[in-house]
Amino acid sequence: MISGKKVALRAVQKEDLPFLMEWRNRPEYRQYFREYRELNLQNQEQWFDRTVVNDRNTIMFIIVKSDRPEERLGCCGLCYINWVQRFADLSLYIGWNNAYIDKEGYAQEACELLFDYGFGELGLHKIWTEIYEFDAPKYELYTNMGFEQDGLLRENYYHEGKWWNSRIMSLLEGDYQRYKRG
């Protein structure tokens, strides 16, 4: 377990799957994910077996409260890890209290723990992500943490009768060190 002041990160377990499925199936959350369809428990179990257990290029965590590790808050991870070029795609959301990206600082601290792990222990050089332009909560969190926009995929996502751009954003190890120094 990777522990911080408010949150801790622990490996995803099979008993977490119903929570993940419930969170990911919320329409207000699903709009932010690349996976567009409603998931069932079989989908979650296949993802767990294929990706969490057997894909060395994906490392997923359950976010829990540090003082109450039985209380699940959300999920985060590093996906599509490229061990040669040393980069990974960031995955993050808070399912607790229908927060998505919370105001209490759980998402921020989860990112800090994940980035310390990714840059420190795994030796990554860059963590990147794709977010849709209407995803203001993640955009604000990531820009406050030092992410910069690398590019824009024009009209890349269709949602609620409109085409939206996707922002490709990244955080380099040096950017993160500057963020930590404040």
What's the burial of 158, exposed, middle or buried (CB within 10 Å: 0-12/13-18/19+)? Answer: exposed
What's the burial of 9, exposed, middle or buried (CB within 10 Å: 0-12/13-18/19+)? Answer: buried
What is the structure's pLDDT at 9? Answer: 98
Averaged pLDDT, groups of 10, the chain, 182 residues long: 95 92 76 72 84 92 94 94 97 86 92 98 97 94 96 93 96 95 84
Distance from C-alpha of 95 to C-alpha of 101, rounded to nearest angstrom? 9
The predicted model scores a pTM of: 0.90
